[in-house]
C-alpha cells in the first residue's frame, strides 16, 4: 500500500509540474533565435509563462515553444512585424487574453545594416529605423496601458553598445540603437510614478548568427578589442536581461554586456 501511495503522489506532482500556472508572464519580441531565444529560455527557467514573437523564423519559434511546453512551461508564439502598430496591438491583446497580464516586456527584435553612409539607400534607412526604433515604440505603446492599469511592470529594451559609441560603416544602425536608449530613459521618467520600470541592455560582440559571417581574423581582432579577450554568449546577455527585468529598484538605466569593449 505504501508503495502504491508513493507512486500516486509522484504522478500527482509530475501532473502539477506539467500543468503549473505561472503568476508571471513575459512577452519577448524576436524570441525565436539567438539572444531572444536565450532570453525566453532563461525566463522560463525562472518561473515565467512565455509569449514570444517571430517575424520569419516560424519553425524555430514553434520548436522552442514545444520544448518549453515539454518542461511544463505555458508558452506560445505569434507572427509579428513589430513595425506594424495595428498588428502589434492585436498580438498584445491576444497575449493579455490568454495570460491575463504581461509583467515583463522584452523588446529584442532588430536588424543590422553594415554600409558606408554614401552607399546606404533610403530603403535601408527606413527598414532599420522601422524595426529597431519604431518596433520598440509600437510594443511599448501597446503594452504600457495594461501595465499602468495594474500599477506595475518592467520593460527591457535591447539596444547595442553601438548606440552608445557608434561605429564606422554602421551609422544608421548605431543611430537606431541610440534612439532606443534615449526613448527608454525618457519613458522610465514618464512611467516611474506608475511603478513601471524601463531599462536598456546593450550587448557588445556576442556569438550569434548575426556575427556568423565574420572571418576568423575579424573575430580575433574583435576579441582583442574586449578586456576579456572573447565574444560574449547569448546566455550572458539573457542573464543580464533577467536581472534587469527583476531588479525592483533599477530603472532608467543602460547596462552594457560587452566584456569591456573598446572600438
Which listed residue (15, 54, 173, 249) is catalytic?
Answer: 173
- Closest Cα partner for 73 from 12, 30, 22? 22
Distance, CA of 21 to CA of 23 (rounded, Å)? 7
- Alpha carbon dihedral 134, 197, 189, 136, in 10-degree steps, equals 0
Q: Are 27 and 107 in contact (CB under 8 A)?
A: no
In the numeric block, the cell 506532482 is attached to 13
Q: Which grid cell sits at 21?
A: 500556472
What do you get for the CA distance between the two ends of the chain, in Å? Answer: 69
3-state secondary structure of 76: strand
Q: Look at the chain and count its residues.
A: 263
User: Catalytic site residue 15?
Assistant: no
Element (H, E) at 24: strand 24-28
Query: 3-class DSSP state for residue 122?
Result: helix
Q: Give catalytic residues, as residue numbers.
A: 173
Amino acid at each position: 500500500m505504501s508503495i502504491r501511495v508513493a507512486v500516486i503522489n509522484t504522478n500527482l506532482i509530475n501532473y502539477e509540474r506539467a500543468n503549473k500556472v505561472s503568476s508571471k508572464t513575459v512577452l519577448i519580441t524576436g524570441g525565436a533565435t539567438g539572444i531572444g531565444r536565450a532570453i525566453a529560455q532563461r525566463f522560463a527557467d525562472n518561473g515565467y509563462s512565455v509569449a514570444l514573437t517571430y517575424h520569419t523564423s516560424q519553425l524555430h519559434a514553434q520548436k522552442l515553444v514545444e520544448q518549453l511546453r515539454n518542461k511544463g512551461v505555458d508558452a506560445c508564439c505569434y507572427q509579428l512585424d513589430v513595425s506594424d502598430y495595428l498588428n502589434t496591438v492585436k498580438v498584445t491583446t491576444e497575449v493579455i487574453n490568454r495570460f491575463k497580464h504581461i509583467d515583463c516586456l522584452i523588446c529584442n527584435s532588430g536588424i543590422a545594416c553594415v554600409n558606408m553612409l554614401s552607399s546606404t539607400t533610403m530603403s535601408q534607412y527606413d527598414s532599420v529605423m522601422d524595426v529597431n526604433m519604431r518596433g520598440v515604440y509600437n510594443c511599448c505603446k501597446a503594452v504600457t496601458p495594461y501595465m499602468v492599469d495594474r500599477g506595475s511592470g518592467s520593460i527591457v529594451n535591447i539596444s547595442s553598445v553601438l548606440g552608445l559609441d557608434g561605429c564606422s560603416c554602421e551609422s544608421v544602425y548605431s543611430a537606431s540603437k541610440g534612439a532606443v536608449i534615449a526613448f527608454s530613459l525618457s519613458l522610465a521618467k514618464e512611467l516611474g510614478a506608475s511603478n513601471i520600470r524601463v531599462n536598456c541592455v546593450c550587448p557588445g560582440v556576442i556569438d550569434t548568427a548575426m556575427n556568423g559571417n565574420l572571418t576568423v581574423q575579424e573575430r580575433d581582432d574583435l576579441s582583442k578589442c574586449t578586456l576579456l579577450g572573447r565574444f560574449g554568449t547569448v546566455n550572458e546577455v539573457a542573464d543580464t536581461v533577467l536581472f534587469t527585468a527583476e531588479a525592483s529598484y533599477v530603472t532608467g538605466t543602460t547596462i552594457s554586456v560587452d566584456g569591456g569593449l573598446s572600438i
